[in-house]
Amino acid sequence: MTSEAITFNHILGQGRINQLGGVFINGRPLPQAVRVQIIEMASKGVKPCHISRQLRVSHGAVSKILNRYAETGSISPGQIGGNPRAKISLQSIEKQLMLTYEENPNLCAAELRQILIEQEVCSRSTAPTVASINRFIRGKGLNREKKPERKRLNHSIDSILGISLGNFHSNLCDSLKY
């Protein structure tokens, strides 16, 4: 262990050693320098499991940082605690998200996120993640429009042979019974 890690441990009093031998504080973000190293190593093609072992950081933490970077372009940790003013901006984002979704129900969550950024409702770093947009849509009970069923063509193999799939399926099921 380095003296920096020991000092880090003694100052906060909450430091623990993970299974890989790294020091962490439960519920607190990784230091910025470690986050930068994770992104640099990943950009050089190092696999997350190797990054985890080399930096002595849990695989879950590495994955979470890489996913956040892929979605937002930011390596900053998420907010700890809450700010009442942030809720107001969150409500305005949700309102705009609803309006955009109602106008364009066929857009995927990534496209909705991009529109929020382009309309400057939020920045790339403050925009909701694709997963949270999907949760929001499901939570509001908004279902994506189902694609219309394809109509059977008159010249399909079934109509040429003069059989219907329903009868064929039930006959097949009957023949498989003991």
What's residue 75's pLDDT?
A: 78
Token pair 């930096």 is found at 55
Cβ distance 136 to 97 under 8 Å?
A: yes
CATH architecture of the domain with residue range 84-139: Orthogonal Bundle (1.10)
pLDDT digits (tens, 9 = 90+) for 68-124: 888 878 777 766 665 555 555 777 888 888 888 888 888 888 888 898 888 888 888
Residues 6+ apart with CB under 8 A from 125: 72, 73, 74, 76
Helix spans in the chain (H): 3-12, 32-43, 48-55, 59-72, 84-103, 109-118, 130-139, 157-161, 165-176
Confidence of residue 171 (pLDDT cuts 50, 70, 90): very low
**Right CATH number for 3-72 from 3.40.605.10, 3.40.50.620, 1.10.10.10, 3.30.200.20?**
1.10.10.10
